[in-house]
Chain A
């Protein structure tokens, strides 16, 4: 599957994090992160469970407010952004954000309407086709398999053709062929000029399209570099080593 080209050229934002921390009472999820992600990058965030990947992605998706530090999109502070800015973001988290009692089509139509998309019905049909879900359009979300649910979630995030895609462990629970298709699709998005930031705790996945690798450990950024075989080896070693 390949992402259909959008009518306007994507303009992915430049993201800057300055000494950004997020605390949950006594637990530090993100510890003074300094990071700059340019437009049009494909970033993979790696780290063990509890390293802070989910928190980082949620903060970037504006779902979570940082406790300290700054987050800037195109040099504008995140907390001063108007709500319309969220049109440029697409987020997939651990939860599906779906309504079990609605069909795939109805779920998407709901989100399309919320986004104020023109020609909502046609757009929903387009995206269902793009994700290979036409045959299950009228199935209740509850009845879909894990893989299909993930595709539907991806469809939901893709409806408004965001410039920045944020995906939190999107490959969990998917079989290899589905994972391949998803990565190929994300690569297509990246080629169109969008930014993709996805997280994973496992390096076994194909990371070909990724331009950059980040490694988080206990909320701190311990590795930040371009996606080369050496980098992958180093990160792999770090991920597996150091286990008590």
Chain B
């Protein structure tokens, strides 16, 4: 992709993301109906749910990128994994912040140790560890290799973390249970979710794209510096 084409794509993504997010915001606050029991704070759900889904999608990309790197040894896959991990961590953080913000007014406590939220927390920690690993390995090839191994192990772990937390929950039920967010949603609310999801997905795509380019440029810089030193 040429330089100008890349710039145009970034611009398109940015504008699209802004439009979608702003309109989703409007929808969430003005158009969508107020939830019966939870009130206005429930609108944070339009950020919370898509962010959760996107973070999971991002970590799936890390998994695929890790496998592909080990299989093909093409650095592009490593760049994709690194970019996806960072995007995933950001959205994970959004979930972890919006969760308590929602829980406190509604259920009176900051944190509910329900399976989904806890799994998100552990997921967050796993991918922070992944990013720290990347930070502390200097050699690009070694970094790609080790990160790929951790990326694979981390992703395989996630369903096990979820299962463990789920079963633990049934053994230690909390006085309040974070009710199924997807159960019995008004169709107008579903539109809000989809719209918000589209906006955040575009935004995630933009972040991913930019980050990927950064990694590619870093590799190019290393190669140039190497040629200069010869």
Contacts and interface: CB of A to CB of B under 8 A. Distances in A.
A25 B138 contact: yes
A28 B230 contact: yes
A25 B230 contact: no
Nearest to B225: A26
Contact of B140 (A25, A27, A31): A25
- Chain B interface residue count: which class? under 10
Nearest to B221: A26
A142 to B, nearest CB: 30
B36 interface: no
A28 B229 contact: yes
Contacts of B222: 25-26
A23 interface: yes
B139 A24 contact: yes
B139 A26 contact: no
Interface residues of A, number: 9
Contacts of A67: 141
Interface string A1-28: 0000000000000000000000111111
Contacts of B139: 24-25
A241 to B, nearest CB: 21
A180 to B, nearest CB: 39
A31 B225 CA distance: 14
A27 B139 CA distance: 11
> Which of A25, A27, A67 gathers the greatest number of chain B CB atoms within 10 Å?
A25
A26 B140 CA distance: 10
Contacts of A31: 230
B138 A27 contact: no
B172 interface: no
> Which of A24, A26, A67 gathers the greatest number of chain B CB atoms within 10 Å?
A26
Interface in A54-77: 67
Contacts of A24: 139
B229 A26 contact: yes
Contacts of B230: 28, 31, 218
